[in-house]
Structures are given as structure tokens and as C-alpha cells.
A and B are shown apart, each in its own frame.
Chain A
Amino acid sequence: MVKKCNNTLKIDYKKCIVEERLLQIVNLENVNEADLVDVWAIDIEPRESRKVIDLIRCHTQDQDPINLQHIKRIKKSHDNKTLITVVASKELISDLSELECLLKKEEINYKSVIEDVKVPRIGPSTKELITEWSTKYWPINWNGNPNDQILTSYEFDMDLIKDLLGRITAKASSEQLTGNRFPIVSAFVDPKDKANVLFATDKRCNPSYNMLDHSIMRGIRKVAERQKANAFNKTFTGTTYLCVDYDVYTTHEPCSMCAMALIHSRVKRCIFIKDMPETGSLKVGSGDGYCIHSNKALNSKYEVFQWIGSEYDVPKLSKSTCT
């Protein structure tokens, strides 16, 4: 079950577009190949199931870093006499002794712990695949296309988004007017301190900086400096650790260095205006197709959207510029 937002945004689930303006950038190419995660399962008598479900509700379901809402928690064992129950992912409970400790504390009687159970991390995108995955891996519920739920769960403050995109576009134009050959601008917004937006421009042409001072790299440094300055200020209510949960707005699709820097900084979302077909690293069709923010191998993730309306006219750059 996904927490529904009480907003009334128009979402085109097929095209993954919010309010006809924000295109979700996500790598859906491998979405119908199951990505398996290790879970702890136990073999129990049917009469124990009530207690196990209670344990899951109180101790694992909400704490688990892996959302397991899409799988059926219980399936029959091969001889039909007992029930195999998924208790938690191995990301929540890392070792056996910890699991045994929990089961003992909750007074669960179980026959054995089954160690090698794997389930899909997220459900398939079509109903047709449910049967296939359920036989192949583990019984799965159909709750609709998981990406629809992901889109529904995101929050969008359209007024704030428009305001910031307007401001970075204006700043980029004035950078261009004052002779910056790389008129690229980013804005960093702390979710706990939205009023104090940090803006950063590209400084690679400025002799006191270096050619890696792209706007995103500079924005991340500025956030770090603000946090260092606020470290002893008890009245400060903003985020004090990296850019956790920050929203980042930027005029041009980031290069691989900047896109990865956003992963290291734990931002929540990045919205860009102009894509960079040769040097970008977020869109499936950009550059080498790294899709750095939604690359399975890189594990960590952030949301990415491209503004596809014609409202913001950002400066044109040469195609080979890394932004």
C-alpha cells in the first residue's frame, strides 16, 4: 500500500509525466527482469501464523529498508503441512543470531529458518508477469504497476518548482550576459529550510577555480560550508548532514561527475531543464546511457525529472560541454 498524497496533480502514468510538465527520468529498460533480494523466512505450523503476522506488523514491515508490500508473506510448504513465512529482508536483519533473538522474544515457535529465500525487490510492471514471477520466485500480489505507485507517492510543490526554475533560468541568462561562457546554474533547497535557497554558478572559467567547478559541485560545497558554519548554532533547524533529502534544480542535465556527486550527497530529487544528449548522464538516451541516478549497480538512488514545458529558455551550450 502506498501512502496517497492528498494533492490533485494530473499524472500521465503511461508517459510518466506530472502536470504535463515534469517528465520522470528513470531507467525502465530492465524493469521486467526481477532484481532479487535475500530475505529471512521461517517454517511454521499454521496456528502460529497469527503471531508471526503480528511480529511483522510491529517489528519489521515499517522498519525494513526494502518495501515488501508486493509479495505475499505466507506460502504453503511443499508437503502442504506447514507455512513458509517471510519475516524481513536481510538488509533489515543482517545475521541469524539477531533473527533468532527477535523470534525468541516474540515467543514464536518455528520449525526452522530457511536461509536461501530470494524475492523480487519490486513487483513487475504488467499483470501478465505476476503468474510467471510467482511460480519462478515467490508469490506476488498485483498492486498495479509499481512505477505508478512511485509516481503517486512523490510530492510536488508546483509553485515552488516553477519559482526556482524561473530563478535559475534568469541567473543563467545574466551569467551569459556578463561573459561567463558556461552559463549553467543550480539551486539547492534544504527540505527543512526552504526559504534559504543556495544558488551556484559554473566557475570553470574563473582563474581562482578549476575546470571541475561545475555548478552542482559548487552547490554541494556551499551546502557543506553552510552546515559547518551552523554546526555550533543551536537555533539552526536545517539539515546538518550532507545534502540529505535536498531538492536540486539545475539548468542543464548533469555530467557523470556531478550526477555521481549527487548520489554521494544523498539528495532526494534533481529537476533539470535542458537535456545534454552527448554529455548528460541521467536520461537513457543521453551520453553513454549511464542513468546514474537509477543504475542498479550503483544502488543508491534519487528521483529525476526534466521540465518539458517551453516556459524556461536556458542558454544554449556547445554539445560537447560537460555540465
Chain B
Amino acid sequence: MTEDELFMRDAVRLARHALDHGETPVACVFVSRALREVVAFGVNATSRDHCGTAHAELQAIRQWQERWGGSGGASGGTGGEATGTGVPGSFSDLCVYVTVEPCVMCASALRQIGVSKVYFGCANDRFGGNGTVLSLNSPQSRSLGATPPYAAVPGLFRREAIMLLRYFYVRENDKAPQARSKGNRDINTRDFPPLHWGRYIGREEFGREFGSRELHRYDDDLDLAGDGVADHGIDWTLIDSRHDRIVDALTERLDTLERSGRYHFGKKRKIAAESNIIT
């Protein structure tokens, strides 16, 4: 299993955790590309917070800022160049693994803080901001100030992400007062819509990500793991078991990283100094 897959597995476990707590099953982890370690994570909390904007990505940004102390805005404009590009603690060192394509709001937020890359599981058909509805991450999008575009790569654990959403919608339907079409409650575990890779990344980029042997998947809109293999290419144990310890486990990993002193926000001191003027 690749490192990218391992990070996305953490995101999928968190999404399952969200489902078990009555939230839309979408979650993410932020990874430092230099350290190859999780530095923040977020789970959808729209229901708990009574707030339509408490999406996983924004929760992770908030957590990242609270733990590592970066305000980012101190550099002015829209850019948040914390320290030099790509060094631990800078926004441009962050890579996001999220189970569902960021919506337009979150895609814009990730661009405004300046993350370097996003991996997502399945497309967000209604609100997707990384290629499905709009492409806020693309170089053509110029309305987001000075921050650079970022690559968004779909496909990792896509079917697992879709299945979790299906579990959620069936539950929601049952809760609705006029629950109709009860016959439709059997969850579809076999059919998955084609993945139109070309909407999100170029063919070459796909080859670099997943290897040239897999290019036929790009050409035929196929999943990375899919039809013809056992269990429809789905890791059922990942989505069908509860992951009650996942939040604690990730928090422990962040604590360990913090104690190690290997990761910190570069401008901490400077921001504290500026804050005297602001108040």
C-alpha cells in the first residue's frame, strides 16, 4: 500500500466515525509533505454545530491553526505565505486527503491558504469545486488573489467514500417524516458511476500518480480498484466497522509530533508581535 493510500484510509475511518455520530460522512487529514506525517484532521460537524459551513476541510484548517498557531493572514493580501515554500509549517507544505471532493467553499478556502495538493475519493456532484462544478484549484481561476493553483487528484478509495454516503442517505430517508419509497432501502453495493478523470487531471499527470500501466483506467473512466476484482474492489472492513478510537489515535500522533519539535509554524513570534498593534 502506498503512503497516499494509508493517509486516505485514515480519512475514510474518520468519515465512518462521522457517520456513527449522525454527521455527513466526509472527513480529511492534512499531511506535511516534508515530514510525511498527519498534522491536522477534520470531520464534518454541520449537525453538531448547527452550522452549514462546518465542513471537514474548514474544521481541519481550524484545528491546524489552533495547534500550530499560524494565523497566516499576517502576511497581508489574500496570500498566507507563512514561511518559505514547502518547508514544514508552511501552507504550501500541506497536502490534503479528503474522502469527497471539496465543495466550492472549501476548494476556495484551500486555495486561499495555499495548500499544494488535494487527493479526494469521490466527486461532489452538486457542489464540487475541484472540477465537477467549478475548478477553483485550476490556473484558469484568477479570482483568488495571489495564491498558486493546486493539483486535485480523485480516485483513492472512491468506492468506499461513495458507499459511506449511500449509508448516510438511506439513514436520512428513514428519518424523514414522510419516508417514501421504502422499497428502495436496499443499498446499491454494485454499481458505481464512471470516473471522468479528464475533468480533474491530465493523462500525463495520471501516469505520474498511478503508473503508466494504469493509463487504460484513465482512458476508459474506470476506478483504480474496481469491477472484476473481489468485493467490487471495496475494502469492506474499512467502512463496515466502527472506528471509535480513530480520533484519539490521530490526536496522539499529533501530540507526539508536537513533543518532537520537528513541526512548528514559522512565523509564530512575528504574529504575536503584530497582534499588539491590532488590538
Interface residues in chain A, defined as those with a beta carbon under 8 Å from any beta carbon in chain B: 94-95, 97-98, 179-182, 204-213, 217, 220-221, 224, 227-228, 231, 240-243, 255-258, 260-261, 263-266, 278-281, 286-288, 290, 292, 295, 297-299, 318, 320-322
Say whether chain A's binding surface is mostly helix, strand, loop, or mixed: loop
User: How far, in angstroms, from A191 to B46 measured CA to CA in the complex?
Assistant: 22
**Quick check: A98 and B73 within 8 Å, CB to CB?**
no
Q: A213-B73, A256-B108 are in contact. List 5 more A-B contacts (CB 8 A).
A: A210-B61, A224-B50, A256-B143, A260-B108, A295-B133
**Smallest beta-carbon distance B150→chain A, Å:** 15
User: How far, in angstroms, from A288 to B145 measured CA to CA in the complex?
Assistant: 12
Encode B250-270 as 1/0 by CB contact (under 8 A) with A: 000000000000000000000
Q: List 28 A-B contacts (CB under 8 A).
A: A98-B180, A179-B278, A207-B274, A209-B71, A210-B62, A210-B70, A210-B71, A210-B73, A211-B78, A211-B112, A212-B61, A212-B112, A220-B51, A231-B50, A256-B104, A256-B105, A258-B105, A260-B104, A261-B52, A264-B55, A265-B53, A288-B143, A290-B134, A298-B133, A321-B78, A322-B112, A322-B143, A322-B145
**Quick check: B71 and A281 within 8 Å, CB to CB?**
no
Q: Is B2 an interface residue (CB 8 A)?
A: no
- A264 in contact with B112 given A95-B181, A279-B145, A288-B141 (CB within 8 Å): no
**Smallest beta-carbon distance A292→chain B, Å:** 7
**Quick check: B108 and A257 within 8 Å, CB to CB?**
yes
User: How far, in angstroms, from A36 to B76 measured CA to CA in the complex?
Assistant: 45
Measured between beta carbons, the chain A residues less than 8 angstroms from B104 are 256-257, 260, 292, 298
- A207 in contact with B51 given A288-B141, A288-B143 (CB within 8 Å): no
Among A179, A240, A256, which residue has the most Cβ atoms of chain B within 10 A?
Answer: A256
Q: Is B77 an interface residue (CB 8 A)?
A: yes
**Quick check: B65 and A279 within 8 Å, CB to CB?**
no
- A264 in contact with B133 given A181-B76, A257-B109, A321-B145 (CB within 8 Å): no
Q: Is B103 an interface residue (CB 8 A)?
A: yes
Among A97, A207, A208, A231, which residue has the most Cβ atoms of chain B within 10 A?
Answer: A207
Measured between beta carbons, the chain B residues less than 8 angstroms from A213 are 73
Encode B36-55 as 1/0 by CB contact (under 8 A) with A: 00000000000001111111
Measured between beta carbons, the chain A residues less than 8 angstroms from B274 are 205, 207
